[in-house]
Amino acid sequence: MNMALWALCHEAEKRGWQPVGIEEGLQGLIDGRFRALDSREVLRWSRRGGTELGSSRVADFPQYLETVKQKLEKEDIDALVILGGNGSARAAAALSGKVRTAFLPATIDNDVIDSDSSIGFDTALNSAIRLADGIRDSADSIPRLFALETLGGDTGFLAQAVAQAVGADVLLVPEHPLEVSEIIAQTRKATDKNRYALIVASEGYPRLTETIDELAKAMETRSRMSRIGHAQRGGVPSGFDRLLARALATGAVAGLAQGESGRSLWQGGKAVWLSFDSNDPKEFKLELL
């Protein structure tokens, strides 16, 4: 997200706009926690994970739309960019009736509607890959059942990408729960070949711990569960995530400059602009220097 913040500031300044940051996300927007930003300052943030400005969730955000409008008008802010997942996208769509608003997908869950990728997903993927590779190193010398739990909420996009990237033996995602008998069959096939099995599971998989325990009992072997936890949300941003953030941010500013509200999304290997009430993508010529 920090790279996207820098790109937004950079593009805004090129157009003579004064970028303003909002601390603590949607709650900060309601509270009016604004601060002037300078691209030279923000560039120092771009190599760090997370978001320097902070974030928050507000379940009943729509009831604050008029409050937010008044706060923005008081600060002479006439365009807004919101980064986040599907909840943030809904907030951005609601705000678009009050002020020009752009939305950028930024979530490691990679589940934003209409976008092939979201900022942070590739970095989180690579973090998990490094851990999975380390588990395989141990498994080669100490054969048993190994399970790696990724983040991802109630979606399995991140776990699936990790499993595919490391050649996992079993994938457990909440969208398609497996019968324990099927998990046992897949695991036994792996252990017969390699003496061990690597299972990758999303945190949202139902009864995950109990399922792994049942599996180990049925296989008459020991199991080891590794949880990445919130470390997967941080770390040095990958090159792809930095380029993605810059492209999406540049597209967002281009859309706002045309007086529109909409979403800057990643489709077919490029940034496209979709208005909130349309699925007809518009492509801008983006100059990333």
Please tell me which residue in 78, 109, 241, 277 is annotated as part of the active site.
109
| Neighbour tally for 279: CB within 10 Å | 8
Q: Of 271, 234, 267, 252, whose CA–CA distance to 108 is shortest?
A: 234
267 touches 115 (CB < 8 A): yes
Neighbours of 170 (CB within 10 A): 22
**Strand arrangement of the beta sheet that strand 270-275 belongs to:** 79-84, 100-105, 262-267, 270-275
**Distance (Å) of CA 170 to CA 58, 166, 189:** 36, 11, 10
What is the Cα–Cα distance from 253 to 251, expressed in whole angstroms?
6
Q: What are phi and psi of 173, to 5 degrees?
A: -125, 145
Is residue 133 annotated as a catalytic residue, yes or no? no
Helices (H), the chain: 2-14, 25-31, 39-43, 65-74, 86-95, 121-141, 157-166, 180-194, 208-219, 239-257
- Hey, which residues are catalytic here? 109
